[in-house]
Amino acid sequence: MNSDDYAELPPAQTWARELDAGRYHCSVSTMYRILSEKGQAGERRRQAAHPPRAVPELVATAPSQVFTWDITKAAGPVKGIWYHAYVIIDVFSHYLVGHTVERAESAERAQELIRETILRNQVVPEPVHADRGTSMTSKKVSQLLIGLGVTRSHSRP
């Protein structure tokens, strides 16, 4: 089972190939038991070893250093009517530094809200964190943040 021909095959395929060649050594369950006794009962194929990925961490030691923002759908007063609540939060204080409610999600409105929030608070945060939503990754928002010299941070959903 550890020969070059069979090293990456499961015991059932090894057993079938040997049987096709006219050789019977033992049952498939015995092959599994032998592999288990030798500590080889796991995955037999070569596996790619990927280095562990570091999880990015945003740390704020004072107010207005790091902002995070999101867009959430909120049910309206009538069935089938939805609103989009845009919120920008200061990571350090958890203070809501910018918000708006719109009938539709749009990159233009997201861009305006970020610009208004930065102007109103008179501070440009170091990073602005967001998930990978369509408005957050839009060209308009990206150009605004790059123009202001703000680094972006995205997390995967």
In this prediction, residue 157 carries a pLDDT of 45
Whether 108 and 140 have beta carbons less than 8 Å apart is answered as yes
Q: Locate 45 and state its tokens.
A: 């194929």
pLDDT of residue 155 exceeding 70: no
99-146 residue pLDDT tens: 999 998 888 888 888 888 888 888 877 777 777 677 766 777 777 777
Q: At what angle do helices 107-121 and 139-148 cross, to 10 degrees?
A: 20
Q: Locate 115 and state its tokens.
A: 């610009």
pTM of the model: 0.58
| CB burial string 94-133: b at 16+ within 10 A, e below | eeebbebeeeebbbebbbebbbebbeebeeebebbbbeeb
**Which domains are delineated in the chain?**
1-46 (no CATH), 67-154 (3.30.420.10)
